[in-house]
Amino acid sequence: MRNEDEVIKSFIASASGRVNLIGEHTDYNGGFVLPTAIPQVTRVELWPRSDSHIRAESTNFSGLRSIFEYDLGNETRLGDWPDYIQGVTHILQSEGTPLHGFEIKIESRVPIGSGLSSSAALEVSLLKVLRKAFDLSLDDIQISRLSQRVENEFVGAKVGIMDPMAASLARLGHALFLDTRDLSYRQIRIPLDQMDLLVIHSGVIHSNAHGGGYNERRSECEKACKLLGIYQLRDLSLSKLLEMKDRLPDTLFRRARHVITENARVLAAVKAIEQGEMNALGEIFYASHSSMRDDYEVSTPEIDLLIELTKEEVEVFGARLTGGGFGGSVVILTFPGKGRALGEKLCLLYENKTGKIPKILVPENSGHKCATILEKI
């Protein structure tokens, strides 16, 4: 253990959580996504050691669960937060990257299981601080790819590239328009003078690593591609899919239809944002949610209720489930200056109907009486 009286230079790095404005389950199909950074970040402080021992402490947990120790080369999957730390060191060592021991302190304000990419924020912030401490030759895109490998190869979540790219590159007040096939991207200014961005957590926790639904959806897309004789669903138009519908069982047809139409919605959303067409953007959001609910089947009754509640508010442009699904959060576009008040109202209505405690994540510090339960989970 590091001697607290010993003066050792520490290194610090951080990465933001993200809310995906639109483009769900398209990234592992070679499609388009449109995430933006949120104010909540994960911060990692690192102290190098001269041996091969790793000591990780997370302030988001208490008791014995808050500290984990291991030696380089002895990484073992546990099914808990240390897997993201072990996964990083395991993947770096498999690449031949020289490492030695270190101690880290993790502080995260990105709620776990919220659909806001808490795991990618942790992986990316750790990789960035290791880059600083050990002078590693890694650019931000390489860090994103390594983070994805941690999820895919060690943690066991077959996620796409969007979350680590967003954690590495997304900026507040801008949407990251990303082509996940070639990783080309550009930053698009969000017209916050014409809308408020509201994100509410449903109180239903999800996990890409431990829930089978996410990996199952990816497998279904791969099966659909095989039956259709294509590389990725990105390569197919909706009209062509309809021509080839008889090749697919109904479930796989609906999965493919979601991905193909969602890609088109991302492109339409980019155009709407750039042209300041908030009403059009809101309709695109609602169409996306319907597709995720009916074709991709990743929504939940609680999420659907939140979306329906927004439709009763004249000051809402649109809303949709954000993230992988099976719980998590909704992203809502409101009239400018109305997000906070509408968030308060929607939270109270939702809690009264479900008994579940929601949390307003964006904008921060809403003051809602139910907005503290997820601070440390």
- Catalytic residue annotation: 163
DSSP output for 34-81: EEEEEEEEEEEEEEE-SSSEEEEEETTS-GGGGEEEEETT-----SST
Q: Distance between CA atoms of 336 and 315, rounded to whole angstroms?
A: 9
211: Cβ contacts below 8 Å, ≥ 6 apart: 326
Q: Distance between CA atoms of 35 and 21, rounded to whole angstroms?
A: 5
Q: Distance between CA atoms of 303 and 79, rounded to whole angstroms?
A: 26
Q: Distance between CA atoms of 181 and 328, rounded to whole angstroms?
A: 26
Left (φ > 0), alpha (ψ -120 to 50) or beta: where does 352 sit?
Answer: alpha
The answer to whether the CB of 358 falls within 8 A of the CB of 202 is: yes
Alpha helix segments (H runs only) across the chain: 82-94, 118-134, 140-149, 162-169, 212-228, 238-243, 250-274, 278-294, 301-311, 339-354
Task: Give the other-Cβ count within 10 Å of 147's Cβ.
Answer: 31
Place of tokens 């933001």: 16
53-58/102-108 β-pairing: parallel
Could you give the angle at the alpha carbon of 100 between the alpha carbons of 94 and 102, nearest 5°?
Answer: 115
User: In this structure, is the dihedral angle defined by the CA atoms of residues 93, 98, 99 and 100, taken in order, positive or negative?
Assistant: positive
Q: Distance between CA atoms of 103 and 118, rounded to whole angstroms?
A: 20
The answer to whether the CB of 191 falls within 8 A of the CB of 276 is: yes
